[in-house]
Structure formats: C-alpha cells, structure tokens
Amino acid sequence: MANPATLASTFAAKQPVHDRLDDGPHGPRPKRSFSRANIFLYGTLALVSIYYLLPLYVMLVTSVKGMPEIRMGNVFAPPMEVTFEPWVKAWAEACTGVNCDGLSRGFWNSVRILIPSVLLSITIALISGYALSKWKFKGSETFFTILIIGAFIPYQVMLYPIVIMLRDTGGFLTDIWQATCGVFTSAEGSCRGRIQLFGSLSGLVIVHSIFGMPILVLLFRNYFASIPDELFKAARVDGAGFWGILFRIMLPMSMPILVVAMILQVTGIWNDFLFGVVYTRAEQYPMTVQLNNIVNSVQGVKEYNVNMAATLLTGLVPLTIYFFSGKLFVRGIAAGAVKG
Amino acid sequence: MNEMTKVDAGHSVEIRHLDLQFGAVEVLKDLNLDIHEGEFLVLLGSSGCGKSTLLNCIAGLLEVTAGQIIIKGKNVTWAEPSERGIGMVFQSYALYPQMTVKGNLSFGLKNARVPKAEIEKRVARAAEILQIEPLLDRKPGALSGGQRQRVAIGRALVRDVDVFLFDEPLSNLDAKLRAELRVELKRLHNQLENTMIYVTHDQVEAMTLADRIAIMRGGKIMQLGSPDEIYNRPQNRYVADFIGSPSMNFIDGRLEGGVFTSGELRLPMEGYEYAAPQVSDGPATIGIRPEHVVTGELAASAPVQTEVLVELVEPMGSDTLVYTELAGERFRIRMDGQAVVHAGDRLPIGLVPAKASMFDKSSEVRL
Amino acid sequence: MAVAEEAGHARRSSPRADRKPFRLFHNLMPKIALIPMIATALVVFLGGTLWTVVYSFTSSGLLPRRNWVGLDQYERLWSSAKWIVSIQNLALYGIFSLVFTLVIGFTLAALLDRKIRFEDTFRTIFLYPFALSFIVTGLVWQWILNPDFGVQGVVRSMGWESFTFNPLNDPDIVMFGLLIAGLWQGTGLIMCIMLAGLRGIDEDIWKASRVDGIPTWKTYVRIIIPMMRPVFVTAVVLIASGIIKLYDLVVAQTSGGPGISSEVPAKYVMQTMFGGQNLGQGFAASTMMLLSVVIILVPWAYLEFGRRKRG
C-alpha cells in the first residue's frame, strides 16, 4: 500500500536496530587470548582510543596549568603544579567584549533556555506523536511527511522567515495585549509592555521546539505505534477519550521513551550555537555562543588555560548526561541522528 | 430476507446495508445481519474475510462508509464505542499493563462516573463469576495467559452490557487451555444470557459455541445458519469446503433426471432434499464428507456401492484417514480408528446420496 | 443497566448517533492537538522554505523587499570568490569526511564485533565526542593544533626542528585541520550505526562462511558489507546532511581563516544574511544549499521507496 510516511518508517526501522547493540557480538571469536591477531586487535583499539581521548585529556591538563607552564610549550605534558584558578576565572571573570562576568551568565542563560525548551518541545511532540499513531485522519500522514522532510532542509533556508514570523507574531500579540489588557487592570501604564519573541529567550524556546519537532514526533509516533492497537481499542470501549487514553494508558507506559527524548533534547539544545546566535541578543547568549566569544576574542593576551577550562565547563553538561545515561544515550542519538 | 428491514424488538444487533472501504478497497459490501436477543453468533472465516472488521464496526472502532448499525433498537452507527452498550474482549487481551486487575476492571466504570460502591459491587461479582478474586491486586504481567483472558472477559462483564464482542479471544492460548476456556465461555453464556458476537477462524470453536454461524468471505456473508445447517446443508461450495476437517470430497459431473453421473460413477439422488423445488439438468458438483462414506460390513447396505483403491493410510488414533480416488478425483474417507486397511487394498464403500450436498457447477450454489 | 451509568451515558452521549457527523468536526480533538505540528510543517518548513526561495529573486538588502531582479543574486553569488572557495572547501571536506567516516566507522564496528573484552568501554570512548558541541570540538582542536604549543611544537621540541604541521594557519591544508576535528566528533555515531547493522546479521551467516572455509576479511567484503547496504545508505544520508550544515565547527576552529581559505556555504549565508545586510544574496546562497540537499535526497528517496514499491 502506498504510504506517504514510508520515509519516516525507514528511520523507524532503525530504532529497534539500536536495541540490538545489547545483543552481544556476532563476529567470529578470536582464537587464543595472546595470538598475534589479538594483539593487533587490541593494539589498534588502544591506539584509536588515544586519538579519541586525547582532546579530553588536553582540555583537562591545560585547564589546571598556570600560564607560565603553558608557555613552556607542551600541550600533552601533565601539569607540574595544579591550579584551579583558570576554572574560577572562566566561570566568573572571563570577558566577552565589555562584559567580564565570566561564563556563568551563559550557563544560566542556557539553563533558562533549556528547561522550557525541553518541556515545550517534548509536550508538543508527545501529543503529536500520539495523535499521529492512534488517531490518524485523512491528511495526517501527509503533514507528518512534510515535517520529516523538513528535518533535511538546511536550517539556513528557514532562519530568516522565522525571524519575520517571530517579530510579527510578537507584534500581533502585543497589539492584542494592549487592546485587551485595559479590561483586566486599571493601573496606569501597566499596559505599555511589549511582547517580544524575536531576540528573546521565549523566541528561542519556540525555535528549539520547532526544530526539535521532526525527530521527537518521529520518536514518539513510532513508540506509540509499537503499543498494540487493541489496548487503544479497549480503552475506547471503556469510554476513555483522546486525553484520557493519553494520560491514563499511554503516558504511564512511555517512561523509557520520555527519558530518551529528554537526553536527546538536553544535549541538542545545550550544544546549539546557530539558533542562539541568530535569535537572541548579546546579554542572553547561551553558553556555547559565549564560550566562542570568549575564546575567539581578539583582544588581550590569550589565556589558554582559562579557555580550556571554559571549554570543558561547557562540555560538562552533555558529558555528564552521556556518562550517566549510557545505553539510553545511544538510543537517543540513534533517533537524533536523523537531525544530521 | 424481508424480515431484516423491519425493526424488531427481539433483535439485539441489526446491521443494514453496511459498506466499508479503505481507500479503493471494499472490505465490507452491502452486509446485512440480524442478531437475536441472547444469541451466540459466531463470525467465521479465513483471515482477510472481513470478520474482525465487521466486529470493529459494531464496536464503533472503525467508521463505516455507509449503512446502519442498530443495537437494542437504537441507531448507533456514529456513536462512540463506549456509548453503544457493548463490551469487548480482544485476542491479545489488551489489559492495561500499569493497572492492577482491579484497576483494569474498574477503568471503564470510572470513565462512566459510576459511583464507587457500585464499582466495588460489580467488580466483586465479575471476579466471582470468573474466579479471579485472588488475582485482583496483581498486575497483568504477573498473570498467566488464561488468567489474563479471564480478566479481559471480566472487563467486559463489569460493564453490565447486553452485547459482548469477542475478537478471536482464544487464539493466543495453547490448545488445552483453549478447550477449557471454550467450555467456560459456553457456561458463561448460559448463565448471563446476553448476546455474544464471536469472531474466530477456528471451526471447532464456531461449531461448539455458536447458536448460529455466519461464514464470511470477501466482505460478504456466505451462509448464516445453525451449526447443524452449516454442516449438513451448506448453501454453497465455499461453505461446504470450509467447514469440516478433513474437508469435503468434491466430484464434478452432471445431474440428469435425478441421477448424478461422473464417469463410471452413478448416484441416483433418492432422498436428497433439493434446495429449490425444481432443478434443471446440467453440470453439477457433488460433495461427500469423508465421515459420511460407509465402510466395512455396513457398506453393503448403503444405497450406492462401489470399490476404491487405497493409496495412503493416515492412522490418527481415534480414527483413520484413507486416501483413495473416485471418479478420477482424490477422495478421502474417514474410518474407525480400529479399522485395518493398507495401501494397495481394494476397499468396498457405500455412499448415501441423502447425506451428500450438490452444487451447481458454475454458480457453486446448492441445488 | 444501573441508574448511575444511565446518567453517565446521557451526559456523554453524542446528540445524533444516527447521523454521519461533518467530516472536519468528527474526532475533533486529535486535529486540535496536531495544530502545532501542522503549523510547523506547513507554515515554517514549507512556507519558510518557499519564502526564502521566492525572495532569492529579489534585491533585498537590509530588509526583504519584493523588487524582482531575476537571477541577479545567483549571478553575483557564482562570481563571488568567497562563495566559490566555500563550495570547493565543502566539496573537499565532504568527500574526505564521507569516505573516512564510513571506513573508520565500519572498521571500528567490525573490530568491536569480534567478541572482545571491554566492548562497552571502547564504545563509550569512541562515542563520547558526539555528546560535545561543535564549538567545544573546534576549540579543543584549535588548541591541540596550535603551532607553538600543540602537536607541531611538541614534535619540534623533541628534536625534529624542521617538522611542520600547522593546518590552521596553512590555507592549503586548513580543511584537513577541520576534518581531523570533524571525524573525531562524528565517527562514533557511524560506528554505532554500523555496529547495530553488524548485530542485525544472522549469526548463521558466520557459521556458514566458517564451514565453507572463507577467510574473515573475504566474508566481510563479499557477504557482510553487501548485506549491510541499507545501513550504509542511512549512514551516507546522515553524513551528507551533516556535511552540508557544517558551520559551528568552522566558526569555532578557524573563523573561516586564514583569510577566506576555510569558508563554507553555511557561513557565507550567515554573513550575507545577518552580517552583510545583503539578504537577497543570503537567500540565493541558502537556496543553493537547499538544492544540494535535494540533489542528495531525491536519488536516495527514489532508490529507497522505488525499491519498496516494487518489492
């Protein structure tokens, strides 16, 4: 049967594939533990591991060295004297332009962006995915296909139209607010406020929800599709409606996928640079943007140790999630890989 | 057919001119069916015949394209499933995994805002009837297949409805449990006396449970009748072939002047009840059930006698299946389990035309 | 039927159960719930894309304006040295990134699939860079490749005075500097996908090839890799769509330098759109990016779904 959403199911197939990682290896077993083939195998893996671990190591050692030691010139050498001053400086004193209050501002901006973005995007995607899998109607699959194709469009194509949409929606909401607010309050001047979406955190939250939607909707749609239809039918016979089935039946079964979605969104939004640069103003820049401004600023003497401390600080949130969530992270990125 | 058009208080579920299309595919075509109050009706057919689809339409889980569904005299064609006064039991049990058995049983009642005391009462009664009282606080994951299916039945039971819908409820169980629950379902029906519509592809379930069986094929009802009618007087070749295991033997030939001939075989159709008062001569197919072939000493007393060559013997314990050839067609005979036959034997057999079924060769309709 | 349930029924039942409801209002709630998704798909993705394509034919500068100039913006785009360099850089980076990511990803997956010890540890090590942002990736590798204190400096200080490896300041090899960082960040993901693909292959295939006496490498090349075709296709689509979006890494690691030698299309778009007050040019450039995605995706979709329809 010609299904317009087959594009999506291609990726749907990938989800169970990733659970196979737990299956255990299928390849041939190496014969003896100290055979030449085995030494070659583990040697190669160890060597490659060095390449992958090197940057983490370099970040760490550089960030606890003093500048004189760094100028002696070996990024790989372990620190002779450990100092945490670069960390303090990166967090509280590093400068971007005229502001010298360190990365902490970017960190808190990122937190302020992250929490509502994650909640909003997951809520919308959860409801959409549920509606798309269990309450199909004529045209619903077509909309979904457009959404999934949208995931492949380079962001640059949609950046400017979204600027306009945010600005105009903000203006429109302001007009409504100013027209209706007098009804609720009589205080002089309390209706002057403007609603700004472009160049504000709320605008960025909307943008993150928009661009997170294809992958998250796909994730939830496929998950709900894997829940037997009979369960859904039984609930309908039992008199539960759209929201009743979602909250009473589906949601209690969705914990694993919610965690996966959460991991996916937290890492994705935390690591975002492009949207942060385009849709916010300097004082609201997320951590990544601020980090880049600190490190790549041309003024003053380069303080490599502070830079690396700042870099490591920025990477700390996704790294913590990665090391604690393990296999769930793999499932998350497997799904998130579509985002490209 | 005429009686279907008038509203009858004795009818529990009436289905009129029901059409259902998925895109360009017609799944149900102008389907009419009246189900009596308290009747156990089985929808039987092979997969893809539309039996489950029909059940889902009755439940309101599928939107029909055209036609009407009337339950208890009320047109419910576009009503919500929960407003139709039905309870439904699914093949995969469809128990809510995060709720206890009690939670599963009371979920529908809570949605209908039934008072708490009433819920308690009905859950207790259903649990008693189904003997699942000790399981009430367990989660479905901790139950066996049979227990799960009892809970699923209980979920329909507590709704206190007049019509029960069963969608292949026993298919996921092993053979022994299936037989047990089959008996229990029959007992339940005798006790509750409500209307039950039961979908299955298993003819044993259909024959043992049903008051009436509707055999479906390609979205149409091929025959509606009691198990006895279906078995003994199949209305067409499809039904004749579908019901019975091993299935009926068919021999093509001609009917002329009340005598069926095919090659050497001559069967005077004495005692055969024709479907129509007048039957014209022409090509016909005769169907003879393997168990209606008379063998042994009795063969000599049958109206028609002949002899066949045994090709293969399948002893099955309770009976023996003998593969032979008659009038150029493969011919199966069911004999007693104790019968001693060997491949290569010549076996004298007797045929009873009164017990046979005869079909028009081209239209495949019973003559 | 109990009284209470009667009451419940009366309150909830739809007024005309015998009448076919108007299509749009039937099961209205799912439709309402899907409004955000439908709006995103139609207004933002479809509408926004069309808007950009349409305005790429205008002379919009600081603000979008509808004064049509035909293909002028595209002519200017293709006569801009910076754009040409961007395209060349992307092509170079793209080809190497694609080949190396596939080869490294598959090799690592095959090595990990050989019933080794510490598989989880190795997997964790190879994949962790993927959790980091391109900004972090770019800055770390900028530091490691620092000519005075990084790799080059270390080798020289060990006595090899003439050793030169300074990709970030050498226009000829700067893209390889980016490639080293990009591969570090992205190969883990492809390895994971490949590993899952290998795990999806029936173990009996290995037994059969052992019985037939086929050497391991030959089993991989002749049997396993052909069987993993869909996995490779997915991997290629993922890598390719990632390459086209290449932006953050360049900003962090080289800022497009030295000179314009590591500029990429996405960066060109950002500069003309938000830095150069030259919107029309940015729209034209982003439309070209869209076009390249279409060129990659359409054959893939055709292969993927054409085959499915036939099969």
Q: CA of C8, closest CA in chain B: separation in Å?
A: 5
- Spell A248-274 as b/e; 16+ CB within 10 A means b: bbbeeebeebeebbbbbbbbbbbbbbb
Chain A hits for C27, Cβ within 8 Å = 135, 137, 242
Average pLDDT, integer, range C184-201: 88
CA distance A61 to A309: 9
| Three-state secondary structure call for residue A172 | helix
Chain B hits for A231, Cβ within 8 Å = 92, 94-96
Give residue-wise pLDDT tens across range A34-54.
677 788 888 999 999 999 999
DSSP collapsed to 3 states, B53-64: HHHHHHHCCCCC
What tokens appear for C270 in the block? 């950002």
Q: Which residue has the tokens 């047990």?
A: B180
- B82 has a chain C CB within 8 A of its CB: yes
- C129 has a chain A CB within 8 A of its CB: yes
CA distance A77 to B207: 85
Taking CA–CA distances from C19, the nearest residue in chain B reads B78
User: Do A337 and C289 make contact, defined as CB atoms within 8 angstroms?
Assistant: no
- A252 has a chain B CB within 8 A of its CB: yes
Q: Which of A10, A261, A17 is nearest to A128 (CA)?
A: A261
Chain A hits for B92, Cβ within 8 Å = 228, 230-231
Q: A interface mutation test: which of C14, C34, C247 has the most A CBs within 10 A?
A: C34
| Three-state secondary structure call for residue B265 | strand
Q: Which of A107, A94, A92, A104 is nearest to A294 (CA)?
A: A94
Amino acid at B175: A
Fold observed for domain B2-235: Rossmann fold (3.40.50)
- A269 has a chain B CB within 8 A of its CB: no
Average pLDDT, integer, range A82-102: 84
Give residue-wise pLDDT tens across range B253-308.
999 888 999 888 888 888 888 888 778 888 999 999 999 999 888 888 888 889 89
Alpha-carbon dihedral angle through residues C105, C106, C112, C114, given to the nearest 10 degrees: -170
Contacts of C among chains (3+ CB pairs under 8 A): A, B
What tokens appear for C138 in the block? 């770019």
pLDDT at residue A172 in the model: 87
Per-domain boundaries in chain C:
75-310
Q: CA of B161, closest CA in chain C: separation in Å?
A: 7
- A162 has a chain B CB within 8 A of its CB: no
What tokens appear for A157 in the block? 């194509």
Work out whether strand B25-36 and strand B11-22 pair parallel, antiparallel, or are unpaired: antiparallel
Across all residues in chain C, what is the average pLDDT? 86
Q: Which of A340, A132, A135, A140 is nearest to A218 (CA)?
A: A132
Q: Which helix (H) or strand (E) holds B322?
A: strand B319-326
pLDDT at residue A12 in the model: 38
Chain B hits for C18, Cβ within 8 Å = 68, 75-78
Contacts of B among chains (3+ CB pairs under 8 A): A, C
Alpha-carbon dihedral angle through residues B223, B228, B229, B232, given to the nearest 10 degrees: 110
Average pLDDT, integer, range C206-225: 88
What are residue B334's DSSP bridge partners? Answer: B321
What are residue B255's DSSP bridge partners? Answer: B260, B282
CA distance A309 to A63: 5
Work out whether strand B195-200 and strand B40-44 pair parallel, antiparallel, or are unpaired: parallel
The terminus-to-terminus CA distance of chain A in angstroms comes to 29
Q: CA of B22, closest CA in chain A: separation in Å?
A: 11
CA distance C234 to A152: 13
Given a contact cutoff of 8 angstroms between Cβ atoms, the answer to whether C152 and A324 are in contact is no
pLDDT at residue B39 in the model: 93
A139 φ/ψ sector (left φ>0, alpha ψ -120 to 50, else beta):
left
Ordered by where they begin, the domains of chain A are: 110-284+318-339 (1.10.3720.10)
Chain C hits for A333, Cβ within 8 Å = 127, 130, 189, 192
Q: CA of C25, closest CA in chain B: separation in Å?
A: 13
pLDDT range class, residue A334, cuts 50, 70, 90 = low
Eight-state DSSP code of residue B143: S
Write the residue in A29, A53, A146 that is nearest to C46 by C-beta. A146
Residue C68 CB coordination number (10 Å): 11
**Higher per-residue confidence, B3 vs B365:** B365
Given a contact cutoff of 8 angstroms between Cβ atoms, the answer to whether B123 and B105 are in contact is yes
Give residue-wise pLDDT tens across range A108-152.
999 999 999 999 999 999 999 999 999 988 889 999 999 988 888
Write the residue in B23, B61, B108 that is nearest to A238 by C-beta. B108
User: Do C52 and A157 make contact, defined as CB atoms within 8 angstroms?
Assistant: yes
Given a contact cutoff of 8 angstroms between Cβ atoms, the answer to whether B36 and B12 are in contact is yes
Taking CA–CA distances from A242, the nearest residue in chain B reads B80
Q: Which helix (H) or strand (E) holds B331?
A: strand B329-336
Chain C hits for B68, Cβ within 8 Å = 18
Given a contact cutoff of 8 angstroms between Cβ atoms, the answer to whether C181 and C138 are in contact is yes
Contacts of A among chains (3+ CB pairs under 8 A): B, C
Q: Which helix (H) or strand (E) holds B228?
A: helix B227-232
What tokens appear for A59 in the block? 């970040």
Given a contact cutoff of 8 angstroms between Cβ atoms, the answer to whether B105 and B151 are in contact is yes
Residue A1 CB coordination number (10 Å): 7
pLDDT range class, residue A13, cuts 50, 70, 90 = very low
Given a contact cutoff of 8 angstroms between Cβ atoms, the answer to whether A280 and A196 are in contact is no
CA distance C243 to C186: 10
Q: Which residue has the tokens 């139709």?
A: B84
Residue B201 CB coordination number (10 Å): 16
Q: CA of C125, closest CA in chain B: separation in Å?
A: 37
Taking CA–CA distances from B115, the nearest residue in chain C reads C4
Q: C interface mutation test: which of B113, B119, B158 has the most C CBs within 10 A?
A: B113
Architecture of domain C75-310: Orthogonal Bundle (1.10)
Q: Which residue has the tokens 């439709």?
A: C31
pLDDT range class, residue C193, cuts 50, 70, 90 = confident
Give residue-wise pLDDT tens across range B34-82.
999 999 999 999 988 999 999 999 999 988 999 999 998 889 998 889 8
List, as ranges, residues 33-92 from C with C-beta within 8 Å of A.
33-34, 36-38, 40-49, 51-53, 64
Q: Kindly report the CA angle at B129 between B126 and B135, in degrees rounded to 5?
A: 70
Across all residues in chain A, what is the average pLDDT? 83
Give residue-wise pLDDT tens across range B9-18.
478 899 999 9
pLDDT at residue A34 in the model: 65
Per-domain boundaries in chain B:
2-235, 239-360
CA distance A212 to C168: 33
Chain B hits for C14, Cβ within 8 Å = 78-80, 83
Average pLDDT, integer, range A65-81: 85
Give residue-wise pLDDT tens across range C253-306.
998 878 899 999 999 999 998 887 889 999 999 999 999 888 888 887 787 776
Give residue-wise pLDDT tens across range A246-294.
999 999 999 888 988 998 899 899 999 999 999 988 888 999 999 999 8
pLDDT range class, residue A189, cuts 50, 70, 90 = low
Taking CA–CA distances from A215, the nearest residue in chain C reads C37
Q: A interface mutation test: which of C31, C90, C136, C199 has the most A CBs within 10 A?
A: C136
pLDDT at residue B275 in the model: 84
Q: B interface mutation test: which of C1, C3, C5, C26 has the most B CBs within 10 A?
A: C5
Q: CA of B38, closest CA in chain A: separation in Å?
A: 21
Average pLDDT, integer, range A177-189: 72
pLDDT at residue A1 in the model: 30
CA distance A227 to A295: 48
User: Do C122 and A10 make contact, defined as CB atoms within 8 angstroms?
Assistant: no
Taking CA–CA distances from C11, the nearest residue in chain B reads B112
Q: A interface mutation test: which of B53, B61, B102, B164 has the most A CBs within 10 A?
A: B61
Taking CA–CA distances from A228, the nearest residue in chain B reads B94
> In chain A, which residue ranges form alpha helices assigned H by DSSP?
6-12, 14-19, 36-63, 67-71, 85-92, 104-134, 140-150, 155-184, 201-226, 229-237, 242-244, 255-271, 274-279, 287-295, 304-325, 327-336
Chain A hits for B87, Cβ within 8 Å = 237
DSSP-derived secondary structure for chain C: --HHHHHHHHHHS-TTTTSPPPGGGTTHHHHHHTHHHHHIIIIIIIIHHHHHHHHTTB---SS----B-TTHHHHHHHT-HHHHHHHHHHHHHHHHHHHHHHHHHHHHHHHHTTT-TTHHHHHHHHHGGGGS-HHHHHHHHHHHT-TTTSHHHHHHHTT-TT----GGG-TTTHHHHHHHHHHHHHHHHHHHHHHHHHHTS-HHHHHHHHHTT--HHHHIIIIIHHHTHHHHHHHHHHHHHHHHT--HHHHHHTTT-STTTT--HHHHHHIIIIISS-HHHHHHHHHHHHHHHHHHHHHHHHHHHHHHHH-
CA distance C76 to C69: 11
Chain B hits for A236, Cβ within 8 Å = 60-61, 80-82
Q: Which CATH class is domain B239-360?
A: mainly beta
What tokens appear for A158 in the block? 């949609």
ipTM for the predicted complex comes to 0.85
